[in-house]
Structure 1
């Protein structure tokens, strides 16, 4: 039975690849206190074990899925990468660039001191920085060095070995340093810092999901009495008097007629008005001049919710408080803001800025929704269709341009096809956020290309490297694990102090910036849980988009530095 299984896997390597993906995904789900290995590491470990059977997989399979993965990662980070570099979030982008340089430099120095070869140094960088995409680019870069076939194979096989030995602490250690050690080193009370930041940003200083009270709304009916100070005022004047409390007069019953309220409509004694707004604010309205009444017909206000993609450059960079003053936003309630490739939830605070590419959930009357859509962007309608033609064209164009070799004296300089595809993905992702009429890749499709592309690549690399893995571990030993701890810890600890004392980030977003600069999504999840707030995410999105790109490119640079 065992011999038959081994022979089958050798004769049909595609079965072995999917076997590694399946088992690796289950291993990746195992976690301790919310921290797990992830599917990539699980797949790699499984492939290294299965690879002991001597299974050969064509490198063409690896190359195809690798390009698919690079496009997906570029497409996902494109809007925030360009946003951070160009204007908004520039300090966070510069911070990420510096931390990426520290990660790269620390790995290079460690490799030189320890005497590691190119492959082991590249794997040390990728594993300790927990950037799986860098592993892929390092393998590609080593194959482009023009070395002898045997030497190339040896160095390529060393990359996943070093990666596997350093990735575990890279994941767990980074999360612990950012979420547990960091606040203690800097003396940060994360919950208090987030509440203070929310108050400073115009919120209510509530923790966790308490901010829901700011944008959960109800509709109530009030009859205007003789003593009301609403008499003789327009609807817009009354609404403006409540500022950020977001109160809107939706409909009016005058005599026996019900009409939709306009901003200019003046209120009279005896009018019954349907008022939408914050629950706590509406409960305080009732009094001698305003008597709450039950009017089912008046309160039957048609309401719809829509996800809106922000595309208007005039909206870009404006705060919610500034946008709330615009006539076009009258009657609109904002429930949610999602930003970046992974849809990070951004806290809804008056001083929160909107970026092009953000997806916001708005609620209001159909006519109000239509008005704000025309001014801010377009509805982000759910669809399963991917613009395959443009995705494939972008990969082709990026790969061809990246393959061009320029010479600076005798030194060849090239992006490589993989680097070109990554940049093509960034370009198309950004263009899609600005002109959302073409190039659509639904989030689920982008996730599949990202996850499947990378894990297929890792599975092939692991199967090919399996026979040399045991020998590599015996040669490098426990010292590689210790060097991985150094390469993980040093840049992160320095990042904490650089973020506070050089860039002077607020304590509430500092740790989010550090997590983003290391592209550590697991750290962000633990941070928001410990902070009982989504506020740390304000420091994560831009820094993560920039670092995800730069650390990936670092897979090429570390090979060039270690030559």
Structure 2
């Protein structure tokens, strides 16, 4: 039986969608030297080719993909978005505004000089800043210009992506600073843990052992003094056949006591020197130890240091990991706690339950997704975007893109305060973002490919040079302003520069060269704000 592949694809637009998805990663993973584009440019290239030869994807797939992408991005950014009241957050808002403002101004000037019509200009702006939200907002604001917006954004998206990668990697040489050294410096300042996570976990492997006190140097020592010397905790002790579990940190150790000691396995040699051989005491060793990831959401602990929480002294528990916005932080007693921090803590089950009630909550079902809230948020964002205010005959509103971003940010923030609703596991959120973005760009690429021949003949080299200037100038401006005016760390600002033009592949390239997650922190700081601002700017450009 012979199968006509070409005809099959033309008759099955749903199949084309998944072919494009596979090609996106195939093309995106191709390395040209050290340059790797990533999946979004890959699916635009594939979409342009397939659209040029008359293939289609399912109608509405790009819209559904866009809804998933925008809402997931906003929901993830919600907990941190409202931190703009903090000085550092205000800086990131300013950096995102500078990038969008410069991009908008340059696009407007070029449109006036070279006579680009509004649809071409809007696509030029959104594509050069690699902004899917900008493309979507422009398409919604001016559906009659959809062909020109799709074509110009698809062509310039590639220019924006490649130029952002190359420029971001060149900035350390241009401005003569050591990216690796600056990343290490920022990591120390921000208590960020760098290095291999498996090795870090090994350093915090814990051991539970029982010993009998025969060493005279230990007699009369308090439990607090013992902990300060050994970095290990006494969870319970046995004296004259009685087991004590509730005792003061000032309780003193006596000759013949049997102690249940818990601490890092790296301290094992010290314990062996102090006590000698272990003892097998079933009464002591039957204690149940558990480990939980506790998310901080109690307002009374915000700003407190790890030491002041009394995790060791009051609850006899060990912190083995701290993460903030996906970044692992150093376990420093002076580290101030923030909303949404995730503390991985091990300790006696009863103690850990009490501690959890005091500082936050534990996710009980890590795999469940609250699809009611997720779907409701998308519906709410869509409806909000349909509300318009008419001023002098001009309709002004958020649009679907703005509505989804607003509701997603709001619900993400509310979940961080009230974690009883809206759970979306990180892996699920990644799927929504990645597939949503790629399906949206597949539709843009297909539509652009269908009018590619006419468009390319109408556009000359000036269009592509304009895109190059729009793509690179905001990155340079943000870096210069962040380093020389705001006096921020260059590695952080470099990451923020890639976030300000929503260039994820550029961020990945910078992080790889820095051998650090520090640029990722800067990227996350500007990305959400830039997404919102670029959506507004692109929609406004269609009116000019």
TM-score range, shorter chain: 0.7 to 0.9
Aligned residue among 472, 494, 504 for 2:487: 504
Is 2:40 the partner of 1:40? yes
1:467-506 correspondence runs (5 A): 467-506=450-489
Which range moved further: 157-166 or 72-81? 157-166
Is 2:304 the partner of 1:314? no
Contact residue 208 and residue 533 of structure 1 kept, 8 A: no
CA change 1:345–1:274 in 2 (3 A) is same
CA change 1:354–1:517 in 2 (3 A) is farther
CA change 1:259–1:545 in 2 (3 A) is farther
1:266 alignment partner in structure 2: 251
Contact residue 48 and residue 446 of structure 2 kept, 8 A: yes
2:237 alignment partner in structure 1: 252
1:327-364 Cα shifts (integer Å, max 9, x gaps): 6664131324151xxx4445555555443234443333
Query: What is the TM-score of this pair, normalised by structure 2?
Result: 0.85
1:38-97 Cα shifts (integer Å, max 9, x gaps): 322222222221122334667544434433332222212211212335777333333333
Aligned residue among 384, 402, 407 for 2:385: 402
What SS does the aligned partner of 1:309 have?
strand
Is 2:147 the partner of 1:157? yes
1:266 shift after superposition: 1.0
Is 2:142 the partner of 1:142? yes
2:394 alignment partner in structure 1: 411
Contact residue 321 and residue 329 of structure 2 kept, 8 A: no
What SS does the aligned partner of 2:217 have?
coil
1:335 alignment partner in structure 2: 321
1:6 shift after superposition: 4.4
Task: For 1:302 and 1:445, locate their aligned partners in 2 and report how far apart those are by CA, in whole Å.
Answer: 32
Task: For 2:219 and 2:519, locate their aligned partners in 1 and report how far apart those are by CA, in whole Å.
Answer: 41
Contact residue 304 and residue 363 of structure 1 kept, 8 A: yes
Contact residue 474 and residue 501 of structure 2 kept, 8 A: no
Aligned residue among 434, 458, 465 for 2:441: 458
1:27 alignment partner in structure 2: 27
1:397-453 Cα shifts (integer Å, max 9, x gaps): 222222122123343211123321221111111112211111222333333332333
Aligned residue among 264, 279, 282 for 1:295: 279
What SS does the aligned partner of 2:301 have?
coil
Contact residue 133 and residue 552 of structure 1 kept, 8 A: yes
Q: How many residues are matched?
A: 540
1:182 alignment partner in structure 2: 171
Which range moved further: 161-170 or 404-413? 161-170
Contact residue 51 and residue 467 of structure 1 kept, 8 A: yes
CA change 1:556–1:131 in 2 (3 A) is same
1:306-329 Cα shifts (integer Å, max 9, x gaps): 222322223334454554678666
1:188-208 Cα shifts (integer Å, max 9, x gaps): 3333334444545568x9866
1:434-478 Cα shifts (integer Å, max 9, x gaps): 111112223333333323333222222322332211332333244
Task: For 1:87 and 1:21, locate their aligned partners in 2 and report how far apart those are by CA, in whole Å.
Answer: 41
Contact residue 47 and residue 462 of structure 1 kept, 8 A: yes
Contact residue 133 and residue 401 of structure 2 kept, 8 A: no
Task: For 1:356 and 1:308, locate their aligned partners in 2 and report how far apart those are by CA, in whole Å.
Answer: 11
CA change 1:199–1:449 in 2 (3 A) is closer
1:144-198 Cα shifts (integer Å, max 9, x gaps): xxxxxxxx2xx322333333333334334323433x3232334333333344445
2:180 alignment partner in structure 1: 191
CA change 1:6–1:282 in 2 (3 A) is closer
Aligned residue among 304, 309, 313 for 2:290: 304
Task: For 2:369 and 2:232, locate their aligned partners in 1 and report how far apart those are by CA, in whole Å.
Answer: 40
CA change 1:215–1:192 in 2 (3 A) is farther
Which range moved further: 24-33 or 294-303? 294-303
For structure 1, which runs of at least 5 residues remain unmatched after alignment?
Answer: 144-151
Task: For 2:137 and 2:83, locate their aligned partners in 1 and report how far apart those are by CA, in whole Å.
Answer: 25
1:116 alignment partner in structure 2: 116
What SS does the aligned partner of 1:513 have?
helix
Task: For 1:301 and 1:529, locate their aligned partners in 2 and report how far apart those are by CA, in whole Å.
Answer: 44
Which range moved further: 542-551 or 26-35? 26-35
CA change 1:281–1:57 in 2 (3 A) is closer
Task: For 1:201 and 1:222, locate their aligned partners in 2 and report how far apart those are by CA, in whole Å.
Answer: 39
1:148 alignment partner in structure 2: none
Task: For 1:172 and 1:347, locate their aligned partners in 2 and report how far apart those are by CA, in whole Å.
Answer: 34
CA change 1:208–1:55 in 2 (3 A) is closer
Q: CA RMSD in A?
A: 3.6
Contact residue 133 and residue 532 of structure 2 kept, 8 A: no
Contact residue 201 and residue 350 of structure 1 kept, 8 A: no
CA change 1:44–1:529 in 2 (3 A) is closer
For structure 2, which runs of at least 5 residues remain unmatched after alignment?
Answer: none
1:260-293 Cα shifts (integer Å, max 9, x gaps): 4645351323334444445556656776xx3443
What SS does the aligned partner of 1:314 have?
helix
CA change 1:95–1:329 in 2 (3 A) is farther
CA change 1:8–1:302 in 2 (3 A) is same
What SS does the aligned partner of 2:451 have?
helix
Contact residue 110 and residue 487 of structure 1 kept, 8 A: no
2:354 alignment partner in structure 1: 371
Contact residue 236 and residue 264 of structure 1 kept, 8 A: yes
